[in-house]
Structure formats: structure tokens, C-alpha cells
């Protein structure tokens, strides 16, 4: 690896490994009165926080490096892992740097975690972000606008400054740039997954959890520029696969590495979906709140936690397979993740209709053993190649 | 003939059954333990009998203690008598094993080699009888207190010598033993004090000139103790199998309450109790009187309990007691996230194949188990001064180290109590309930 | 005793007839040209459906009935064969399995296919996945009713407006289309007026447990009492009749100082008064109940009996505000409330019903109920100074009901309460 890229990857890796949120602390200390708010996976309107001068911080559990000492005391064995490590992070003081937490509507566990937060940390700002499941602008749209207004009011109080429309327009533009950079990166990886291995791309995406969007966009741009300069990144006889099911509890990095080493190029995924929730740009001109509402109603990505009035679960997945010229799908869901696991049979039915190959396994964010997954993914990749040759 | 009131506590656990006998002052007179096997009634009877035997010996000690003239002789005599008594019990069991083996050898499927089989069994048992006294020698270290384990070790060793690949195979002999030991274990036999004391006494007195000289006084003392009537005034049963005990409902207490009270009796300043047994883990908070104020148990999966260590030991081909010391040698603990019993073997093999060191993996496993226990403790209300650790896992030094460290990190410095008799904690609590019940009735 | 058991049987019989009748009506629906709507208990819109002459089918009730009749294990296995994970909600799997095996109702009658799936998305994320799965099976329309979560336990006006708007713009037009009838608000009002009678009587019955001894068990008995009003009979004359009968029976038990009726007759002396959080286990329901009444433990209040509405906290359907009150009803269902509100409710039950203890039955299937219960336990202990009991089981998967384990915990817990009370073996 050339030193420039190596340095860049190193930085992303450091940010990823930093469970103490040092980057957030540094950002806050750089100017008096700065505030930061955490949010759990999937969609929250980060633009509103940004416009209030608040740093939105993505909290995605503790991964595989955090030892759970206190967090397990709050969860039965049949509940997924992310709330345990998130509570552990908070109880160990690592999240003290945050001035509030937003819990998006992603499933009952994260929803209930919002209430737990209220009880565990009285006095801290907590909000459950209940996005509309009705996409009629006059119905779901009107509701969502009121919710956004309420959130805006809360953030105004928290930040101690009003959020002006121009601030919000500016923030929308900033996030449009960020989304654009991520889209370009995903597109580039889809073309040349050997140039942008997912185990690396993931680190750069994750950096966006703790960096201000401007800085994150810049980081992504640099990565886009530097990765293609690596001469030893060559195409290999791998299978092209789409990963599904990782929209909430994140897989350990070792799992992504394992899949790639087992012969799978990941050409699309639902990792860190919150950053990529809106599939297009948000209109900058005009009423900014209305623009955020419209974007949510019309441009939300298809995922398990979002209702699809038109039915046809799986269409988006089939489209992704086709668009990215993938040869198969790997369902990779966290254990006990009801949304992902209940979605699976529907997605599988859609794939079967199109004769798209698939395989499935479960993980937890702290899975430490990949032998079985390596075996399974390797076999899957081989079978795809044999199948395509036949 | 004098009489003394006694109180019996029985703890019918998933792995072992324990019995405790207390006198009216709450002092422990006798303890008994046996493996729970498939027959709880027998396990209960065996543990009780053992506790009664020990209680008699405690009485003999008291009687001898009163006679100053005998003090010097009594010192060595009593332990010798006790060892000889247990040897007698052992020989008696061997006789029953012999009978059972002969019966098993007579099965139709051994028709072709019945006679050879018969001869081999006789030779094996004879050799076992010869080896028996050494098991109960003064400095002997027995690997187990259970007849099953002791007999199995000897038998397997001898069976190897007495088998041949053609007529009487090792497998055939093993099969006989499995059938025979089951029938021996599932009947109580008579291991009582009354049954064996006289032979044991004769044998012991004859073994040393000094004891022979004082034979009369010693016999008299044993006789005095033998005649004391043990009035079983109260009995309380507890443990996982307590519903199977033939006791009326009022005489049954949950093991949680018994554990709390038992721990309080062992260490009167106990506020928090952690018990890690074979199948479950319990975190208990007690008040200043040993009354339980809250408790939590592990969920339906046995991950992180003693049984888990058992699987690991089997998988590594180690004795259970060897795990802890090996883990303590670790210098680079491996982080283990899952204590799932089902996956334990696979995970272990996988890690070993990756080149991770046994001791480092073991250190990680011990920590993982204790982390699960920490969750239960937190759920039950935390760790308060003083903290008492009981159950089989409390005898594992690596587990204790891990616990001590985590307690200190999370709850500050706390006194950690571990009793060598902690396996009897539940039975002790049960016996104390029997005693309290009698006092209250009075 | 005998006289009361006869009276008791009257409400029981009535309920049995109502349920059997409803399943029969469902079986006849296709030939009679009646349309059916599948929907959920929390946030159910029975009066609205009835006002269109539509018949409700409640898959949750089918699942729990299948559990009680020992059919669920086979259904769950069937669903898992079709690729459903062992990890997920067993109500869903039981329902899917039942469907795959011919959609025979727990009473043995044929269930009609839905003409509409009314996805009253209230308090449970899995509902959405459940009906998406059914939609694939039946290829029928879905009406989504998104009921916002009451994270802070308050009903915000714009939340109510949102639900009412969805009723007007999504649900009612769909019901009109399916039924071929126009929305008749007067008919809805008349039905809602009937609901109020039943609600009043139900609340009276539930609150009778404030007496010592309690004439009812508000959990194991309670699940029967809520049956009609949580399912197809809210706002119907039969529903009103059932609750009037039930109330009279309980009034008589109260007069005579009798304890709750159990499957083995009147309960003996009331020794423990408990509040229970969480749904019961259905596959070993009788056995589970017995573990309580054998020890003299009576459940005086439970949260499970509030999943279909928190009537005892004052909510009533309101004929004068038909859609608004339906919206408020949906939002107020127990699992749609934030955890702090749930803790407050349980705390008030412990105090108002003079409970000696409280117990949480944590079911593996239901994250909506279960996620956070261990914190609720701790909070309740801190607020009331009473230790709580914690047991784990499942709704309808018998693999998750470990009888010895659960009995051990219940007994240990009750003995601890007794010991603390010092009635028997005090210090």
C-alpha cells in the first residue's frame, strides 16, 4: 500500500476502533459550547442537528472489542447484541460526551432502548424518532413535518440557538455532498470491488459516524482518489455478491474480511444504512423542512423496517443484484434480529423467482469465530462460479 | 442411654446429593455426599446414611474427648477407625459389585464365553479387594469420594489386563461393569454405622499394640457413642430435585432460601451470595439474618455454569480440577464471547487449530463464565459486603481470580468468602431451617 | 361453591358459544358472501369493521388458541421448514404454519382467506412483517394504520390527527371498497356506545381484585375476561351481555367472600397477591397457572390484560368522537407505551392492589414486551422496595417452557416473600 493510502486507512481504522469517541471529544473541545448527539442505526434527520451546530454521532454498538460487563445485566439471552454493548458504552462513561440520544424506528429492541435510556440516564435528552409508515404527503407527510418541528424545537433549546432556514439549507447541501460521495464510492466498488474492498470501504463509511460531514466527505473523496492508484489491486476470480441484513447491528470487521477472503466480492450491502437512507438528493431551494419531508417520503431506501405500500418485498434486492451484476445474495443477519430475519423468507422468495442464488447465516457484533462462515461463503462462491460456467 | 436432638438437611442437586446433620446448638455433626445418579431416593438415602455415620464418629470424638486418659491414644485411633470403617463399606460394596457382575455375566448373550467371563470377573474383583486397603491408608489420596469413581478406575485398569481380543474383550468387560455399577448404585445396600462398626473396630484395635492395650476403654467409648439416641427432630429438603423427596410440603424449601441461610451460617456477615453449580448459577442477596431479599438465576440455557467447564475438560481431555490451575498459567488471555455449551467444543477446536494456547483459551473461558455471573449479580442488586462464593466452581482458582478482579473493578474492594465446605451450603441452610422450625414450634 | 361454579360456567359457556359461533360464521363467510378482515388485537378497530359488516379474524388469537390446544409446536416446525428462523416471534410462525397446513382454525373449522389485511401497526414492529408475510401468501390488499409510539406516554394531538387521517384516507376507503358499503358513522357510533357498557363492566371486574381476598385472578382468569372485548366482540350486544354476566358472577363471589375460580375449583386461602408483567405461556397454560394457585398466589393485576386497551385508566370509546376515540384507543394500548409509562403503571398497580410482590414473565417471542424488562424489574424494586420475580418462557413454542425451572423460580420467589413477611420462618 502506498504511504498516503496507508495513512488514510490507518486514520479510518483508528476512528473505527475508538470506543471512547475521542474524535467527538476533540471536536467539542475545539470551540466552546459545542454539542453532540448520538443516534442509533438507520434514519435520523442529521441535517437538523448539523444546522443547529450539533455534531450527529452514529452509535452502532461496541463491536467485538468491547467486553460486556454491565450491559448483559439488562438483556435476556434471546435479545440481540447491540443494545447490550450500547448500554455498556454508556454505563462505562464512554458516551458521556454526548448531549443526547436519538433512537430511530428500526425495531422493538431499539425502540424500547429509548425508554430504557430515559430511565437509566434521567436528565439526558432522549428521543424516539418514529418515522411515518404512511407515505401520503397530506397524511404521513403532515405527521412527519410536525415530528421534525418538534425535534427542531428540542435541538434549538439544546443548542441554545435558533435553526434558521438558511442554516438548514446549507446543512442539506452539505449532506447532499456526503451522500453523493458515498454513492460514487458504492458505484466505484460495484465496478471494481478489488480496488475498494468492502473491509476497507466499511472503515471509511464508519468514519462518518464521528466526523463532521464536511470532513467525512473529504475523507471519502481522498479514498476514491487514492485507492485506484494501488497497482497490486487486481481482479480475481471471485463471485460478486450482495449482502443483506446488516442494517442495524453491525458485523465484526473480521466477518467482512472473511467473506472477501473466501472468494466473495461484495458489490452491494445494507451496512450503515442511515448514511445512505435517502437514495437521491434533497432539494436545497425552498422550504427546507418540507424538502426533508418529501425526501423521506419519496426517496427512502427499501429495508425491513420501512413499510412498502406497494408490497413486492424483494424487488429492490433483485434490482440491486441486477444493477450491480451480482451473482448471488448472502443473507447475513444478526441473531435475534426480528426485522431482518422475518424479512428473509420474503426476500428469498423474490430471489427464487429470479433464479438468483443465495445463502444465509447469522452473526453477532462480537462473533469471534469465522471458521463456519468461511467454509460456507467459500462453498457458496465456488458453487456460484461452477453454476455460471455450467 | 442419652438422647440428642438432631436436624437433617438434604440438598438434592442435579449432580450431587448432600446431607447435613446439626445438633440443637446448630453445630455440624455430620456431612454426607453422593452423586445424584438416576435414582434420587437412593441418592438421598446414601447421603443421609453417610451423614449419620459421620455424626456417630463426631459423637465418638466427644466421648473420647471427655476421657483425659485416652487423649493420647484417641488422637490417632479415631481417624484410623474412620478409615477402616470406610474400607469396610467399600469391601461391602465390592461384594455387591461382584454379585452384580456375576449376574450380568450370566446374560444369554454371553453364552459362548460365560465361564471365561466368570473367571475374569472373579480375578478382577479379587484384585480390587486386594487394592482396597491402600485406598484407605493413612496417607492415601483418593481421587473421588464416590464408590463408582474409585471402582471404575480400578476395574478399567484391571479389565485391560484381563481381557483378550478374542474371547473376552475389553468392551465386553466394560459393558458388564456399566450394567453392574448401575444396579449397585441404585440400591442402598447397608453402609450403616451399626452394620460395619464392629468389624471396623476389631480390625483397627488389632492393628496397633497401643490401641490393643486400651481396647476395653476404646470399645466402651465407641459403645457409649453408639447408644446415644439421635432423635431426628426436624428434616428439611431442598435442591433441584426437592419435589422428588418423600417429604411433606412444609419440609421442602427452595434452594435459594437454603443457600442464603447456609452462606449466612458459614459467614455471618454475608450480604451477597454467588453460587455456580453444575446446571445453574444463582445470585442471592440476604439480610443480616440470612433471609433472602432478592435473587436471580441464569436463564434456561446452561451456558456459563459448571457443566460448561465439564464439557471443556472433556474436550481437552483434562480433569475438571486441572482446568483452573492451567488457566492461571496464561499470560495472554484470549477474548471469548460465547459461553454456549453447544458450541463449546467446536469453538475450542477452532481456536486450538489457529494456534492459540490452551491456557490462554482457558483463561478467556473462565473470564467469560464469570462475566455471565456478573450480569446475574447486577440483576439481583449488585455485590455488597461481604460476598460469599459457593458451588463447585468456587473451587476453581482461575474462576476465583477472575471473579475477584471483576468485583474489585466494578464494586470496589469487597471481602470474598469461600468455604472448603461450600458444596454443603444448601444442605446446611436446609438443616438450619429444620432447626429454626423446631425452635419456633417450641 | 357448586352454585357459583354453575354461575361461573355461565359466562364461560357464553364465551365458548361466542367463540364457536364466530369461527362458524367465519367458516360460512365465503358461501354467504361475507368478507373477512385479518387484524391484530392491539389497536383493533372492531366496531369500524362491524359497521361495514366485515368479520374480523385475529391471527394472534388463533396462535394462542393453537398453543393452548397443543397444535403450535407442529405449526412452528412447519414454518421453520419454510425458512423461518428459530429466533423469531412464534406467533408469526404458528400462524404461518397453520396457514401452510390448510388454515384450519383451532376449533377445527375452516378459516376463510382474508379479503383485507388491516395492519394496525400498534406497539409491535413484528406486526408489519407478519402481514407482509401474509400478503405474499394471500395476495390480497393491505391497509396500513401506523399508530405512533407513545414514547413519553402522552397522546399528542398531531399523533391523533395522523391516525384519524389514516383512518379517513386509507382504512375507511379500503373498507368501503372491500365491503361494497358506504361508511356509516351512525352505525359506528351505535357500536361504540355498546363498547362503553362492556368496558365499564370489564373495568369493574378487573378492579374487583382490589378486594382482599380477590374474587378474581387478573392474569390467568384475566385472559379469559379480556377475550371477547379484545377480539371480535367489542361493540356488539353479545359482548355487552357477556360482561354483564361476568360482572354479576364476580359480584356474587365478592359478596360470598370467595377467591378466584381455578380449573380445580375455588382457590384456597389467598396467601400472596401478585402483579404480573408480560404475556402468559399458552402451551402449558394450565400447568403454569397451577404453579401459582397451588401456592395460594393470586394475580391481582397484570399488564397483559391491557394490551388491547387501558380501560382501567379511564379510556372509553366515545360515540361522539368516533374516529378520534378509536385513534386514542390504538395509541393507548399497553405495548404502545414507552417503558417509563409501563413502569409507572405497574408501580401504581402494586400500590393500588396492595400486592405483596410482582413477577415478570419474559417471553422469548416478544421483543416489544421483553426488551427492557430487566430494567423495569430493577426500577420497580427501587420504587416499591418489593423484590420482583423473573421467569422466562415463550408464547406458543413449547420448547421454551421448562417446567421444572419455572416452578423452581416461582416457588423460590414465593418462599422468599413469605420469609420476608416472617409469617413462617422469620429470623
Best mutation target among B258, B289, B292 (most C Cβ atoms within 10 Å) is B292
Nearest in space to B274 (alpha carbons), one of B377, B181, B195: B377
User: For B110, which DSSP code?
Assistant: G
Mean pLDDT calculated for residue range B21-31: 94
| Cα A182 from Cα A221, distance rounded (Å) | 9
Least confident among A57-61, A339-343, C407-411: C407-411
Is A336 contained in some domain?
no
ipTM entry: 0.95
Identify all chain C residues contacting B437, using CB atoms and an 8 Å cutoff.
425
Reduced to 3 states (helix: H, G, I; strand: E, B; else coil), residue B339 is: coil
Q: CA of B181: how far to CAs of B42, B93, B99, B107, in Å? A: 14, 10, 11, 16
Cβ–Cβ below 8 Å for A73 and B336: no
Strands, E assignment, C69-175: 116-121, 142-146
Overall number of domains in chain A? 1
User: For A247, which DSSP code?
Assistant: S
- The three cell numbers of residue A369 are 469465530
| Cα C132 from Cα A344, distance rounded (Å) | 11
Q: Distance from CA of residue C196 to its chain's centroid? A: 18
Overall number of domains in chain B? 1
Q: How confident is the model at residue A371 (pLDDT cuts 50, 70, 90)?
A: confident
Cβ–Cβ below 8 Å for C412 and B379: no
Instruction: Give residue A48's domain range.
Output: 16-163
> To which residue does cell 458504492 refer?
A186
- The three cell numbers of residue C137 are 401468501
Least confident among B305-309, B431-435, C38-42: B305-309
| Contact in structure between C175 and C52 (CB atoms under 8 Å) | yes
**Residue B347: Cβ within 10 Å count:** 22
Asked whether residue A28 carries a pLDDT value surpassing 60, the answer given is yes
Nearest in space to B277 (alpha carbons), one of B384, B382, B402, B396: B396
- The three cell numbers of residue B241 are 430435585
| Contact in structure between B28 and B428 (CB atoms under 8 Å) | yes
- In this structure, chain A runs to a length of 390
| Tens digit of each residue's pLDDT (9 = 90 or more) over A227-265 | 999 999 999 989 999 999 999 999 999 999 999 999 999
How many Å lie between the alpha carbon of B372 and the closest alpha carbon of chain A? 8
Q: Which residues of chain C have pLDDT under 50?
A: 1-7, 423-427
Is A222 contained in some domain?
no
User: For C309, which DSSP code?
Assistant: -
Instruction: Give residue B355's domain range.
Output: 268-430
Strands B281-286 and B292-297 come out as: antiparallel
| Tens digit of each residue's pLDDT (9 = 90 or more) over A181-203 | 999 999 999 999 999 999 999 99
Cβ–Cβ below 8 Å for A77 and B301: yes
Cβ–Cβ below 8 Å for C415 and B254: yes
| Contact in structure between C346 and C303 (CB atoms under 8 Å) | yes
- B259 CB near a chain C CB, below 8 Å? no
Asked whether residue B319 carries a pLDDT value surpassing 90, the answer given is no
> To which residue does cell 415463550 refer?
C394
Structure-model confidence comparison of residues A312 and C91, the more confident one: C91
| Contact in structure between A314 and A350 (CB atoms under 8 Å) | yes
How many Å lie between the alpha carbon of A100 and the closest alpha carbon of chain B? 25
Q: CA of B264: how far to CAs of A142, B86, B154, C418, in Å? A: 63, 32, 40, 18
| Cα B427 from Cα B365, distance rounded (Å) | 29
Residue C263's Cβ-count burial label (10 Å; 0-12, 13-18, 19+) is exposed
Residue ranges in B163-208 assigned as alpha helix (H): 170-185, 193-207
Which residue from C392, C415, C420 is facing B253, i.e. has the nearest CB? C415
- B253 CB near a chain C CB, below 8 Å? yes
| Cα B155 from Cα B133, distance rounded (Å) | 15
Which residue from C377, C420, C425 is facing B437, i.e. has the nearest CB? C425
| Cα C379 from Cα A117, distance rounded (Å) | 12
pTM for the model stands at 0.91
Mean pLDDT calculated for residue range B112-119: 84
Nearest chain A residue (CA) to C169 = A139
Nearest chain A residue (CA) to B350 = A371
How many Å lie between the alpha carbon of B109 and the closest alpha carbon of chain C? 40
| Cα C367 from Cα A83, distance rounded (Å) | 12
- C382 CB near a chain B CB, below 8 Å? no
- The three cell numbers of residue C183 are 361508511
Helix, strand, coil shares of chain A as percentages rounded to 5?
A: 50, 10, 35
Write the CATH number for A96: 3.40.50.11890
User: For B252, which DSSP code?
Assistant: B
Classify the phi-psi angles of A56: left when phi > 0, otherwise alpha if psi is within -120 to 50, otherwise beta. beta
Q: Given this model, what pLDDT does residue B303 score?
A: 66
Mean pLDDT calculated for residue range A151-180: 97
Kindly calculate the radius of gyration of chain A based on its CA atoms and give it in whole angstroms. 20
**Peptide bond preceding A379: is omega within 30 degrees of 0, i.e. cis?**
no
| Tens digit of each residue's pLDDT (9 = 90 or more) over B208-243 | 888 888 888 889 989 999 999 999 999 999 987 777
Best mutation target among C84, C85, C380 (most A Cβ atoms within 10 Å) is C85
| Tens digit of each residue's pLDDT (9 = 90 or more) over C327-353 | 999 999 999 999 999 999 999 999 999
| Cα A286 from Cα A172, distance rounded (Å) | 12
In B334-363, the residues whose Cβ lies within 8 Å of chain A are 335-338, 346-347, 350-351
Q: How confident is the model at residue A386 (pLDDT cuts 50, 70, 90)?
A: confident
Q: Return the partners of chain A (3 or more C-beta pairs < 8 Å).
A: B, C
Nearest in space to B239 (alpha carbons), one of B22, B29, B28, B33: B33
% of chain B residues with pLDDT over 90: 44
| Cα C217 from Cα C293, distance rounded (Å) | 9
| Cα A150 from Cα B76, distance rounded (Å) | 86
Reduced to 3 states (helix: H, G, I; strand: E, B; else coil), residue C4 is: helix
| Cα B266 from Cα B428, distance rounded (Å) | 9
Asked whether residue B373 carries a pLDDT value surpassing 70, the answer given is yes
Query: What number of H helices and E strands is found in chain A?
Result: 14, 8
Q: How confident is the model at residue A153 (pLDDT cuts 50, 70, 90)?
A: very high
Mean pLDDT calculated for residue range A2-27: 96
φ, ψ for residue A332 (rounded to 5)?
A: -130, 95
- B279 CB near a chain C CB, below 8 Å? no
Mean pLDDT calculated for residue range B21-25: 94
Q: Given this model, what pLDDT does residue C2 score?
A: 40
Please give the domain boundaries of chain C with CATH numbers for all domains: 2-186 (3.40.50.11890), 189-421 (3.40.50.11900)
Q: How confident is the model at residue B3 (pLDDT cuts 50, 70, 90)?
A: confident
Identify all chain A residues contacting B347, using CB atoms and an 8 Å cutoff.
369
Q: CA of B247: how far to CAs of B22, C291, C396, in Å? A: 19, 18, 34
Partnered with residue C57 across adjacent β-strands are C38
Least confident among A79-83, A97-101, C181-185, C399-403: C399-403
Identify all chain B residues contacting A370, using CB atoms and an 8 Å cutoff.
none
| Cα B81 from Cα A157, distance rounded (Å) | 84
Write the CATH number for B404: 3.30.420.40
How many Å lie between the alpha carbon of B306 and the closest alpha carbon of chain C? 17
Amino acid at each position: 500500500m502506498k504511504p498516503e493510502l496507508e495513512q488514510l486507512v490507518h486514520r479510518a481504522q483508528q476512528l473505527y476502533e475508538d470506543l471512547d469517541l475521542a474524535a467527538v471529544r476533540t471536536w467539542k473541545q475545539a470551540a466552546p459550547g459545542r454539542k453532540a448527539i448520538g443516534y442509533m442505526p438507520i434514519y435520523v434527520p442529521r441535517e437538523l442537528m448539523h444546522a443547529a451546530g450539533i455534531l450527529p454521532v452514529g452509535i452502532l454498538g461496541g463491536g467485538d472489542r468491547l467486553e460486556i460487563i454491565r450491559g448483559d445485566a439488562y438483556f435476556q439471552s434471546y435479545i440481540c447484541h447491540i443494545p447490550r454493548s450500547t448500554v455498556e458504552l454508556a454505563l462505562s462513561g464512554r458516551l458521556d460526551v454526548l448531549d443526547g440520544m436519538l433512537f430511530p424506528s428500526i425495531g422493538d429492541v431499539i425502540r424500547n432502548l429509548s425508554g430504557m435510556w430515559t430511565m437509566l440516564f434521567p436528565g439526558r435528552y432522549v428521543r424516539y424518532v418514529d418515522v411515518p409508515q404512511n407515505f401520503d404527503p397530506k397524511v404521513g407527510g403532515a405527521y412527519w413535518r410536525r415530528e421534525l418541528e418538534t425535534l427542531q424545537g428540542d435541538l434549538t433549546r439544546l443548542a441554545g440557538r435558533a435553526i434558521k432556514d438558511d442554516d438548514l439549507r446549507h446543512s442539506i447541501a452539505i449532506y447532499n455532498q456526503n451522500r453523493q460521495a458515498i454513492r460514487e464510492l458504492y458505484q466505484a466498488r460495484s465496478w471494481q470491488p478489488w480496488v475498494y474492498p468492502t473491509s476497507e470501504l466499511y472503515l471509511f463509511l464508519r468514519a462518518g459516524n464521528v466526523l463532521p460531514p464536511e470532513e467525512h466527505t473529504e475523507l471519502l473523496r481522498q479514498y476514491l482518489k487514492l485507492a485506484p492508484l494501488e497497482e497490486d489491486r487486481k481482479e480475481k476470480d471471485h463471485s460478486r455478491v450482495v449482502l443483506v441484513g446488516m442494517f442495524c447491528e453491525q458485523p465484526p470487521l473480521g466477518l467482512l474480511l472473511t467473506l472477501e477472503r473466501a472468494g466473495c466480492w461484495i458489490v452491494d450491502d445494507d451496512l450503515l444504512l442511515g448514511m445512505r437512507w435517502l437514495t437521491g438528493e434533497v432539494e436545497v431551494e425552498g422550504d427546507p423542512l418540507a424538502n426533508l419531508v418529501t425526501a423521506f417520503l419519496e426517496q427512502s431506501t427499501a429495508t425491513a423496517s420501512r413499510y412498502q405500500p406497494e408490497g413486492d418485498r424483494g424487488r429492490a434486492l433483485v434490482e440491486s443484484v441486477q444493477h450491480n451484476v451480482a451473482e448471488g445474495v448472502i443473507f447475513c443477519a444478526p441473531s435475534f434480529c426480528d426485522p431482518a430475519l422475518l424479512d428473509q423468507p420474503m426476500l428469498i422468495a423474490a430471489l427464487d423467482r429470479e433464479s438468483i442464488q443465495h445463502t444465509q447465516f447469522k452473526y453477532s457484533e462480537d462473533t469471534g469465530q469465522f471458521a463456519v462462515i468461511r467454509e460456507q461463503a467459500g462453498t457458496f462462491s465456488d458453487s456460484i462460479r461452477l453454476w455460471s460456467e455450467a | 442411654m442419652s438422647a440428642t436432638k438432631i436436624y437433617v438437611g438434604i440438598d438434592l442437586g442435579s449432580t450431587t446429593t448432600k446431607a447435613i446433620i446439626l445438633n440443637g446448638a446448630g453445630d455440624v455433626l455430620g456431612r454426607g455426599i453422593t452423586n445424584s445418579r438416576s435414582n434420587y431416593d437412593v441418592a438421598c438415602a446414601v447421603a443421609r446414611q453417610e451423614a449419620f455415620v459421620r455424626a456417630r464418629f463426631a459423637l465418638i470424638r466427644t466421648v473420647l474427648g471427655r476421657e483425659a486418659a485416652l487423649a493420647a491414644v484417641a488422637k490417632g485411633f479415631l481417624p484410623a477407625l474412620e478409615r477402616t470403617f470406610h474400607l469396610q463399606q467399600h469391601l461391602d460394596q465390592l461384594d455387591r459389585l461382584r454379585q452384580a457382575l456375576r449376574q450380568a455375566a450370566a446374560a444369554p448373550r454371553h453364552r459362548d464365553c460365560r465361564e471365561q467371563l466368570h473367571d475374569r470377573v472373579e480375578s478382577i474383583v479379587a484384585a480390587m479387594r486386594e487394592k482396597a486397603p491402600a485406598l484407605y491408608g493413612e496417607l492415601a489420596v483418593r481421587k473421588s469420594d464416590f464408590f463408582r469413581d474409585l471402582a471404575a478406575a480400578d476395574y478399567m485398569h484391571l479389565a485391560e489386563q484381563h481381557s483378550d481380543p478374542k474371547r473376552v474383550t475389553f468392551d465386553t468387560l466394560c459393558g458388564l461393569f456399566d450394567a453392574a455399577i448401575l444396579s449397585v448404585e441404585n440400591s442402598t445396600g447397608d453402609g450403616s454405622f451399626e452394620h460395619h462398626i464392629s468389624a471396623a473396630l476389631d480390625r483397627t484395635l488389632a492393628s496397633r499394640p497401643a490401641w490393643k492395650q486400651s481396647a476395653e476403654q476404646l470399645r466402651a467409648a465407641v459403645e457409649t457413642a453408639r447408644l446415644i439416641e439421635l432423635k431426628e427432630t426436624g428434616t428439611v429438603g431442598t435442591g433441584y430435585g426437592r419435589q422428588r423427596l418423600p417429604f411433606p410440603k412444609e419440609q421442602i424449601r427452595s434452594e435459594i432460601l437454603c443457600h442464603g441461610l447456609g452462606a449466612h451460617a458459614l459467614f455471618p456477615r454475608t450480604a451477597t451470595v454467588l453460587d455456580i453449580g453444575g446446571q445453574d448459577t444463582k445470585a442471592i442477596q440476604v439480610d443480616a439474618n440470612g433471609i433472602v431479599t432478592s435473587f436471580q438465576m441464569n436463564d434456561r440455557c446452561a451456558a456459563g455454569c459448571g457443566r460448561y467447564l465439564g464439557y471443556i475438560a472433556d474436550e481437552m481431555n483434562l480433569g475438571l480440577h486441572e482446568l483452573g490451575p492451567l488457566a492461571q498459567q496464561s499470560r495472554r488471555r484470549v477474548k471469548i464471547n460465547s459461553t454456549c455449551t453447544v458450541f463449546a467444543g467446536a469453538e475450542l477446536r477452532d481456536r486450538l487449530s489457529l494456534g492459540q494456547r490452551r491456557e490462554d483459551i482457558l483463561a478467556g473461558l473462565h473470564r467469560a463464565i464469570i462475566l455471565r455471573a456478573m450480569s446475574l449479580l447486577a440483576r439481583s442488586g449488585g455485590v455488597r459486603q461481604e460476598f460469599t462464593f459457593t458451588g463447585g466452581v468456587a473451587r476453581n482458582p482461575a474462576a476465583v481470580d477472575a471473579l475477584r478482579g471483576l468485583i474489585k473493578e466494578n464494586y470496589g474492594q469487597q471481602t470474598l468468602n469461600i468455604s472448603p465446605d461450600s458444596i454443603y451450603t444448601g444442605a446446611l441452610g436446609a438443616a438450619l431451617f429444620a432447626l429454626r422450625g423446631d425452635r419456633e414450634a417450641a | 361453591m357448586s352454585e357459583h361454579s354453575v354461575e361461573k360456567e355461565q359466562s364461560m359457556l357464553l364465551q365458548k358459544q361466542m367463540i364457536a359461533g364466530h369461527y362458524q360464521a367465519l367458516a360460512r363467510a365465503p358461501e354467504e358472501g361475507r368478507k373477512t378482515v385479518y387484524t391484530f388485537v392491539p389497536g383493533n378497530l372492531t366496531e369500524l369493521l362491524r359497521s361495514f359488516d366485515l368479520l374480523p379474524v385475529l391471527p394472534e388469537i388463533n396462535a394462542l388458541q393453537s398453543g393452548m390446544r397443543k397444535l403450535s409446536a407442529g405449526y412452528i416446525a412447519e414454518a421453520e421448514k419454510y425458512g423461518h428462523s428459530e429466533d423469531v416471534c412464534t406467533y408469526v410462525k404458528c400462524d404461518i404454519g397453520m396457514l401452510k397446513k390448510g388454515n384450519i382454525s383451532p376449533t377445527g373449522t375452516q378459516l376463510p382467506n382474508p379479503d383485507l389485511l388491516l395492519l394496525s401497526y400498534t406497539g409491535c414492529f413484528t406486526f408489519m412483517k407478519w402481514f407482509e408475510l401474509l400478503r405474499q401468501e394471500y395476495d390480497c390488499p393491505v391497509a396500513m394504520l401506523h399508530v405512533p409510539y407513545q414514547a413519553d406516554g402522552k397522546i399528542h394531538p398531531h399523533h391523533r390527527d395522523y391516525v384519524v387521517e389514516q383512518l379517513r384516507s386509507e382504512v375507511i376507503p379500503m373498507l368501503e371498497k372491500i365491503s361494497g358499503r358506504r361508511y356509516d358513522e351512525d352505525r359506528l357510533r351505535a357500536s361504540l356506545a355498546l363498547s362503553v357498557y362492556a368496558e365499564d363492566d370489564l373495568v369493574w371486574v378487573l378492579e374487583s381484585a382490589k378486594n382482599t381476598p380477590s374474587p378474581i385472578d387478573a392474569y390467568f382468569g384475566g385472559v379469559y375476561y379480556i377475550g371477547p372485548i379484545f377480539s371480535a366482540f367489542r361493540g356488539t350486544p353479545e359482548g355487552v351481555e357477556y360482561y354483564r354476566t361476568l360482572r354479576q358472577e364476580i359480584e356474587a363471589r365478592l359478596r360470598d367472600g370467595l377467591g378466584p375460580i381455578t380449573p380445580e375449583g375455588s382457590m384456597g386461602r389467598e396467601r400472596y397477591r401478585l402483579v404480573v408483567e408480560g404475556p402468559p405461556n399458552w402451551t402449558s397454560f394450565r400447568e403454569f397457572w397451577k404453579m401459582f394457585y397451588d401456592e395460594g398466589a393470586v394475580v391481582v393485576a397484570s399488564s397483559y390484560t391491557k394490551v388491547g386497551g387501558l380501560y382501567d385508566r379511564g379510556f372509553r370509546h366515545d360515540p361522539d368522537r368516533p374516529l378520534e376515540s378509536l385513534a386514542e384507543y390504538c395509541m393507548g394500548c399497553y405495548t404502545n407505551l414507552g417503558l417509563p409509562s409501563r413502569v409507572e403503571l405497574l408501580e401504581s398497580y402494586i400500590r393500588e392492589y396492595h400486592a405483596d410482590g410482582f413477577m415478570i414473565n419474559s417471553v422469548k417471542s416478544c421483543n416489544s414486551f421483553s426488551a427492557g424488562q430487566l430494567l423495569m424489574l430493577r426500577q420497580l424494586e427501587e420504587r416499591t422496595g418489593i423484590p420482583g420475580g423473573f421467569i422466562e418462557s415463550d408464547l406458543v413454542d413449547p420448547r421454551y417452557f421448562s417446567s421444572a425451572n419455572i416452578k423452581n423460580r416461582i416457588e423460590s420467589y414465593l418462599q422468599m416473600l413469605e420469609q420476608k413477611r416472617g409469617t413462617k420462618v422469620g429470623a
